[in-house]
Amino acid sequence: MLSPLAILFPDLRPEIFSIDIGTFTFALRWYALAYIAGFLLGWWIIMRLMTRPALWPNGTAPMPPAKVEGLLTWVIVGVILGGRLGFVLFYQPAYYLEYPAQALRIWEGGMSFHGGFAGVIVAGLLYCRRHSVPPLQLADAMALVAPIGIGLGRLANFINAELWGRPTLAPWGVVFPGPAAQDCPWDWPSTLCARHPTQLYEAALEGALLFAVLAYLVWRRGGLRQPGLVTGVFAAGYGLGRFTVEFWRQADAQFITPDNPLGHVLALGPVGVSMGQVLSLPMIAVGLALILRARQTRAPA
């Protein structure tokens, strides 16, 4: 039986509203709004950081506030192109190799955080080279605001009833609509599956908690005066949070087989790990390396 406290998914729709214009339908989706809000809030916070020279090494901000708007354009392109390319390469390469034109249909969904992260790195480096901005200092500013977009994106994933977790009898399990409620393990004691709301776990860990840690580091501990420290804490913090939540998150369907029901792609000793965990390990390693490097660098007053 389901846990007596299992939660039925509320009546939420992916679309906030839709308007029919002849044969064309315009719809504003929660996921799109999450991206827009994340970009705008990040832009505003970075603008504020650039007006606070005391937060930066030698009392000098890495760029004038007027240049932040141009940075936003580069970041948006990096997120979209990198996120889509990462999804194509990491999660469904065989499908898109057979149907390459489908890779362009980004409005149908399919984005990879790790791909988007790589896209932002490339866009940021190109921007820094073009405008003579110190890369690590700009990376620190961007790392501070990244959890905002991540948290909002995970909330949108919950509203969309996607990226849910594995079946659970825990009282906070959620009965998501569609296949999530029907594809129960063969020995499951009910006709409906309540699942871990891993979207909310990630929104809390990789969004709210990580932003709180980074904000404290920046405004209370002078973290921006040690270039690379904030970026390192973000990368390691996200990687650890994602790696942990993946133990309860349902693997992508293409990795699940009768012989591999948990969708593991690699074995680390007796423990199997998912694709999301494999992609998180380099982030943890790079994050720890940046933290050590920054701690060994004396912070200028």
Q: Which pLDDT score, from 0 to 100, does residue 3 have? A: 63
Q: Is residue 109 part of a domain?
A: no
Q: What are phi and psi of 260, to 5 degrees?
A: -140, 65
Inter-residue contact 110 to 84 (CB < 8 Å): yes
Residues 112-142: tens digit of each pLDDT: 878 888 899 999 999 999 999 999 999 999 9
Using CA atoms, how far apart are residues 299 and 272, in angstroms rounded to an integer?
41
Question: DSSP string spanning 237-251?
Answer: HHHHHHHHHTTTBPP
| Residues of the chain scoring pLDDT < 50 | 301
Stated length of the chain? 301
Q: Is residue 106 part of a domain?
A: no
- Tally of domains within the chain: 1
Q: Is residue 290 part of a domain?
A: yes
Q: Which pLDDT score, from 0 to 100, does residue 107 have? A: 59
Report helix, strand or coil for 21: strand
What are the CA-CA distances from residue 160 to residues 32, 155, 177 (Å)?
A: 11, 9, 10
Q: Is residue 282 part of a domain?
A: yes
Give the domain range for residue 215: 7-13+29-62+134-296
Q: Which pLDDT score, from 0 to 100, does residue 83 have? A: 86
Structure tokens, 221: 């501990």
Residues 221-262: tens digit of each pLDDT: 999 999 999 999 999 999 999 999 999 999 877 778 878 878
Q: Which pLDDT score, from 0 to 100, does residue 272 have? A: 85
Q: Which pLDDT score, from 0 to 100, does residue 129 have? A: 93
Q: What amino acid is encoded at 53 in this protein?
A: P
Residues near 48 by Cβ (< 8 Å), separated by ≥ 6?
none
Q: What are phi and psi of 173, to 5 degrees?
A: -60, 145
Q: Which pLDDT score, from 0 to 100, does residue 4 have? A: 63
Q: Is residue 127 part of a domain?
A: no
Q: Is residue 122 part of a domain?
A: no
43 exposure class (CB count in 10 Å sphere: 0-12, 13-18, 19+) = middle
Q: Which pLDDT score, from 0 to 100, does residue 108 have? A: 59
Q: Is residue 33 part of a domain?
A: yes
Q: Is residue 99 part of a domain?
A: no
**Residues paired with residue 229 on neighbouring β-strands, in sequence order:** none
Q: Biggest alpha carbon distance in the chain? A: 63
Q: How much is the pTM?
A: 0.86
Q: Which pLDDT score, from 0 to 100, does residue 184 have? A: 80
Q: Which pLDDT score, from 0 to 100, does residue 301 have? A: 47
Q: Is 154 annotated as a binding residue?
A: yes
**Residues paired with residue 25 on neighbouring β-strands, in sequence order:** 20
